[in-house]
Chains A and B, each alone.
Chain A
């Protein structure tokens, strides 16, 4: 139903395509103070012990430069980041890309996990000092039903947040269904939502079959538009649903031979299906709409909610993860 606004936009543009014209303009925007942006998550998938990962950046003026050096400058270093669970506090350590590559090669952390979090392939980031905070000694990892308190002390300010990992809810089954031209289609799943409103979910998919270069088609899990949903309308129901193929953020061109939004019949797709807390859902759905609307006349600009206090931005999220695989035919 979030698509209603998009739909109106389609209707509108269909109606006025002939006459509308566009031109680039310059806009003077006031200078604003930078804010701390938190992108943190802690997962539990019942298979491996996954440590929390927190990326700290700063917001920047709207028209500020976007070259690599400027982006790199946005990372917040030397913050004191702690995560507390069961009244025990654990301090996270900052790692930048060069150190992370070393950790990946020594098998301490998984490359796709990092790529997943960075929203980019490591290959693309070589030479770019990407930094994150985590724990690698296995002293802290996500567990379902537990609540995690995040505290960040940076540049004299203290920010806090809390999240939890809800119990897992595995999908009943997953399959592929052709939609177009015999070979293109969507990923389908059947799920059961336990009675009692307040459950929320997030869907990711990753194609692990190889492309022409012999690499996996997706280096990490991709969340399609509208990736999260709550059980307001599906409470206590067992039903089928489908997702199209998501677009890798920041990646404007699709790979050659692929059709946007569609999976191929031959794709082997791993589905990452997560349970999330309601505040996480609230953030994600508005974040996705906002990232897609960009000034449409139908969108009233919405402030993206945050669960970071003290005027911070972003999200500290817990995910209860299950995996399923659709094998290519």
Chain B
């Protein structure tokens, strides 16, 4: 009976939302359709479609579909999208119309640098808060570490998003933990986004179409995480013509092939990337004493993205997409018969079916598989050990988009996930003797959710986006629970049978965003959201590592509950050329997890990992300023965040609140891209010609190409770390006594990067682009970590203790070559 309540609430809410459709019984018709890119046929996500006369409209859904229902009449239908010519069509609406539009890219400016996306005042006009959409072209011209374009590193430069450290792809949103970001690639959850210990993300920019980040005001169609949603959409594949593109970079090479299987009906894309490190390392170590220590080690990673889509009819379309990536580290020391192999990576598969029930009702059904695995294999003589962990999800989703009248945009749906967690498990043997590392205790769980959400124009000035999500999570058998006393000593073992319910949690998650528009240039928005999170990541170190283990809620681990309040003022200037916003937020997080003091990785083996956890709460608040220049030769943004984030755990830091490692009081990013216009190019080429006659050739070469200069500057308060404050001797060893958790600050972080991209001649079939990227141009030695060096002999009284700061990347120029034909 208890379960009935939320269901009935949802139904009631849905009923209320549908009422306007019934009472407003005027003669209304629907114009609907798909918006695609002319050149490739790719769906355009979040393109703006509106009725000029009513100044009302909508945006396309993730499959490029839109639907607008308005009273009978003659209208102008306007479609606009970043970097594309705005499309206007006169429509005579006296019956339901299907208008599919293919937008052509702008010719006047290149498609590269225009940071223009939507109806120009979308920022002010919609009720979205803390939502940022980016296109891959924007990201591709920005400077990149080792020339490897990484969408997550660009995301980190947005206000409210903190990077996980030098060169790291990990990110933290508004004080949330690394496990509180819902990272989706074509709807499949990615459980570990990093390659090479976080220095690169698993997203291959060549295969990505668009990125959307929601850091506050999460709509009810998303759930399961507290802090953010990062929604990455893969390209569908060009359905007009074959296209091959690729690139050679400093650490990896990549190749993408896409094309129509049947023109305008079906297309595919295959994109792969692999690193070279393991190929070049033996050449380095072979004859060089200095590198001898690295002899025998090897490392590589690769990614493969594939996608096929097929338009069955005007009403039905299917997509099948997959990702497969692996990192592999190997080390072999033949002298002592010692070898290590560490493979880890993600695999996902999404099968999606779009169906139009009517012009007003769009449904997407998805079947999704995602998997993350880590293993560590050590062999020495007869000793063999394998340590492994992972998570696997089977996910089914049903998402409806319903557009009853222009004032309403309703979404509702259901989601079911079957989780299989494999927390750290091991097997070990010495010769014939198998060590008792316990059974592999997997954790099985069912997670489900129902949601409904309506974006509703109450009046012209007042918009409400109200949603409700009901979620539940159930941990079921088979399972083996090791019961421990407060000292951590084993007391008992409980065996649960298959499908036996061990613990169920459920809850309602209300999400509300309000917008009040003063005029077309400014608005104020407020949001309240409550989120439940049933899966948790346990992390050992201060940084995200492949060894991080995902676990589900259990009888010991309660769901994390996050509440966020946000208030923002949005104002556009100079014909929407500049967007500005100020957002303040306050967040609380309950039931967060940390390992108990002194936990070591092996402790999880032959035990339940949650027995080693301790629980606490988090709090975060801050203000974010954002100024974005959207149009012109110079585009970019300035983002600044002033924030504070703390955690309070009874068993950590004597129960006193402590800052998180990534609690950054100040966080500033300036990002700019400048495209040299015709005039500029002429001036440069004239100057070159003026200097010397034989420079004429260079001048012409310069003029014939498109040039983009981009740069960024980031500044952040130093990481909060724990340092020893005292030392003592024990058995002749020096031991540390630590000060309060994260009570010490490393030096502030700042860095500037610059890049120059030269785009080959457009008209040629084979286009070749070069880009020079210089990371850390003034070679700032940013602190990565601090350690202490003990030199000398304590018995002789010559012991010297020094604090050493380690920095990673000095100035690093890289050239990458990219081709397309």
Segment at the interface with B among A22-30, A135-143, A159-167, A206-214:
A22-30
Nearest-Cβ distance from residue A216 to partner chain B, whole angstroms: 18
Q: Say whether A260 faces chain B, with CB atoms less than 8 Å apart.
A: no
State which of A80-88, A144-152, A298-306, A319-327 sits at the interface with chain B. Answer: A298-306
* A to B contact number (C-beta, < 8 Å): 256
Rounded to whole angstroms, the CA-CA distance of A12 and B787 in the bound complex is 15
**Which residues of B in the span 700-752 have a Cβ within 8 Å of any Cβ on A?**
722-739, 744, 747
- Flag if A1 contacts B803 (CB, 8 Å): no
Contact with A along B582-623 (1 / 0, CB 8 A): 000000000000010111111001100000000000000000
CB distance from B363 to the nearest CB of A (A): 46
Instruction: Find chain A residues with CB under 8 A from B790 CB.
Output: 294
Partner of B435, one of A32, A34, A234: A234
Give Cα distance in the complex from A189 to B333, angstroms: 24
CB of A108 within 8 Å of the partner chain: no
| Chain B: CB-nearest residue to A68 | B797
Q: Are B547 and A297 in contact (CB under 8 A)?
A: no
Chain A 152-187: CB-based contact to B (< 8 A → 1; otherwise 0)? 000000000000000000000000000111000000
Interface size class of A (residues with CB under 8 A): 35 or more
- Find out whether the CB atom of B335 lies under 8 angstroms from the CB atom of A61: no
Contact B331 A14 (CB under 8 A): yes
Of the 9-residue stretches A94-102, A246-254, A266-274, which lies at the interface with chain B? A246-254
Answer whether residue A215 sits at the interface, using C-beta atoms and an 8 A cutoff.
Answer: no
* B730 A314 Cβ-Cβ under 8 A: yes
A217-243 contact mask (Cβ, 8 Å, vs B): 1 or 0: 000000100000000111111111100
Q: Is the CB of A278 within 8 A of B489?
A: yes
Annotate B652-696 by CB proximity to A: 1 below 8 A, 0 otherwise.
Answer: 000000000000000000000000000000000000000000000
B residues in contact with A240, CB < 8 Å: 430-431, 433
The answer to whether A32 touches B739 (Cβ under 8 A) is yes
The interface bits of chain B over 775-792 (1 if a CB of A lies within 8 angstroms of the residue's CB, else 0) are 000000100111111111
* A286 on the B face (CB < 8 A): yes
Residues of A within 8 A of B788 (CB): 294-295
Asked whether any CB of chain A lies closer than 8 Å to the CB of B631, the reply is no
A contact residues around B314 at 8 Å (CB): none
Q: A22-B806, A37-B729, A66-B800 are in contact. Are A233 and B435 (CB under 8 A)?
A: yes
Q: Is B91 an interface residue (CB 8 A)?
A: no
Cα(A19)–Cα(B728), bound, Å = 34
Cβ of B812 within 8 Å of any chain A Cβ, yes or no, is yes
Is B376 engaged at the interface, CB distance under 8 Å to the other chain? Answer: yes
A313, B376: Cα distance in complex, Å: 35
In the complex, chain A residues whose CB is within 8 Å of the CB of B791 = 252
Residue B729 contacts which of A57, A63, A125 (CB distance < 8 angstroms)? A57
Query: Does residue B53 face the partner (Cβ distance < 8 Å to A)?
Result: no
B490 within 8 A of A: yes
| A104 at the B interface (CB under 8 A) | no
Q: Which of B443-451, B502-510, B537-545 contacts A (4 or more CB under 8 A)?
A: B537-545
Report chain B residues within 8 Å CB of A74. 729
**CB of B336 within 8 A of chain A?**
yes
Which among B376, B727, B730 has the greatest number of chain A C-beta atoms within 10 A?
A: B730
Q: Which of B340, B547, B725, B792 contacts A62 (CB 8 A)?
A: B725
Write out the residue numbers on chain B whose beta carbons fall within 8 Å of the beta carbon of A5. 540-541, 600-601
Residue contact B786 to A27, C-beta cutoff 8 Å:
yes
B387–A4 CB distance below 8 A: yes
Structural contact, B795 and A250, CB atoms closer than 8 A: yes
Task: Kindly state whether residue A109 has any CB partner on chain B within 8 Å.
Answer: no
When A8-B545, A239-B435 are in contact, do A287 and B805 touch as well, CB less than 8 Å?
A: no
Question: In whole Å, how far is A240's beta carbon from the nearest beta carbon of chain B?
Answer: 6
Distance (whole angstroms) from the CB of B808 to the closest CB of chain A? 5
A240 nearest in chain B by CB position: B430
Question: Which of B342, B435, B541, B606 contacts A11 (CB under 8 A)?
Answer: B342
Q: Does B71 interact with chain A (Cβ within 8 Å)?
A: no
Known contacts: A60-B726, A62-B724, A301-B722. The answer to whether A232 contacts B547 by CB under 8 A is no
Nearest CB to that of A28 among chain B residues?
Answer: B744
Question: Does B76 count as interface, using CB distance less than 8 angstroms?
Answer: no
How far apart are the CA atoms of A249 and B676 in the complex, in Å? Answer: 64
- The reply to whether A180 and B795 contact each other, CB–CB distance below 8 Å, is no
Determine whether B379 belongs to the interface, using a CB cutoff of 8 Å to chain A. no
Complex Cα distance A5/B784, Å? 18
Is residue B437 contacting chain A, with contact meaning CB distance below 8 A? yes
How far is A302 from B542 in the complex, measured between Cα atoms in Å? Answer: 12
Alpha-carbon gap, A239 to B382, bound state (A): 12
* A285 contacts the other chain (CB 8 A): yes
Contacting residues of chain B (319-346) with chain A, CB-CB under 8 angstroms = 329, 331, 335-337, 340, 342
Interfacial chain A residues near B795, Cβ < 8 Å: 120, 124-125, 128, 250-251
Which chain B residues lie closer than 8 Å to A8 at the CB level?
545, 547
Roughly how many angstroms separate A193 CA and B152 CA in the complex, as a whole number?
51
A232–B438 alpha-carbon span in the complex (Å): 9
Question: In this complex, what residue of A is CB-closest to B807?
Answer: A21
> What residues on B are CB-neighbors of A282 within 8 Å?
598
Kindly list chain A residues whose C-beta atoms are within 8 Å of the C-beta of B785: 295-297
* Structural contact, B726 and A4, CB atoms closer than 8 A: no
Decide if A27 touches B723 in the complex (CB within 8 Å): yes
- List residues of chain A with CB within 8 A of the CB of B335: 180-181
Q: Is the CB of B732 within 8 A of A120?
A: yes
Contact A179–B336 (Cβ < 8 Å):
yes
Given contacts A57-B728, A300-B540, contact A30 B739 (CB under 8 A): yes
Scan B267-299; emit 1 where CB is below 8 A from any A CB, else 0.
000000000010000000000000101100101
Q: Closest residue to A179 on the B side, CB-wise?
A: B336
Contact B543 A223 (CB under 8 A): no
Cross-chain contact A59 with B726 (CB below 8 angstroms): yes
Cα A210 to Cα B684 in complex, Å, equals: 80
A106 at the interface (CB under 8 A from B): no
Asked if residues A7 and B294 are in contact (CB atoms below 8 Å), the reply is no
* Chain B residues whose C-beta falls within 8 Å of the C-beta of A234 in the assembled complex: 435-436
User: Is A1's CB under 8 angstroms from B728's CB?
Assistant: no
A39 at the B interface (CB under 8 A): yes
Q: A4-B387, A21-B810 are in contact. Are A233 and B605 (CB under 8 A)?
A: yes
Which residues in A have their C-beta under 8 angstroms from that of B23? none
Interface mask (B496-528 → A, CB under 8 Å = 1, otherwise 0)? 000000000000000000000000000000000
> What distance in Å separates the Cβ of B292 from its nearest Cβ neighbour in chain A?
11
Complex contact B541–A23 (CB within 8 A): no
Interface string of A288-318 (1 = CB under 8 A from B): 0111001111111111110000000111000
**Complex Cα spacing A241 to B380, Å:** 12
> Whole-angstrom distance between the alpha carbons of A22 and B739 in the complex?
24
CB distance from A304 to the nearest CB of B (A): 6
- Bound Cα distance A37, B736 (Å): 12
Q: For A74, A290, A295, A303, which residue has the most chain B Cβ atoms within 10 angstroms? A: A295
Cβ of B802 under 8 Å from chain A = yes
Partner of B805, one of A25, A238, A314: A25
Instruction: Say yes or no: A304 contacts B435, CB within 8 Å.
Output: no
Q: Which of B329, B376, B734, B736 has the most CB of A within 10 A?
A: B736
A118 within 8 A of B: yes
B384-404 contact mask (Cβ, 8 Å, vs A): 1 or 0: 010100000000000000000
24 A-B pairs with C-beta separation under 8 A: A4-B600, A14-B294, A20-B807, A25-B786, A30-B725, A32-B725, A32-B739, A39-B731, A60-B728, A68-B796, A71-B797, A120-B732, A232-B605, A239-B430, A240-B433, A287-B730, A290-B736, A294-B787, A295-B785, A296-B787, A298-B540, A301-B736, A314-B730, A315-B730
Known: A20-B784, A250-B733. 8 other contacts (CB 8 A): A16-B808, A27-B744, A59-B727, A62-B723, A125-B795, A252-B792, A301-B736, A302-B599
Question: Which 10 residue pairs across A and B have the least CB separation, nearest first?
Answer: A119-B732, A1-B602, A295-B787, A249-B732, A68-B797, A66-B799, A59-B728, A297-B785, A291-B733, A250-B794
Chain A residues with CB under 8 Å of chain B are 1-2, 4-5, 7-8, 10-12, 14-17, 19-27, 29-30, 32, 34-35, 37, 39, 57-63, 66-69, 71, 74, 118-120, 124-125, 128, 179-181, 197-198, 223, 232-241, 248-252, 278, 282, 285-287, 289-291, 294-305, 313-315
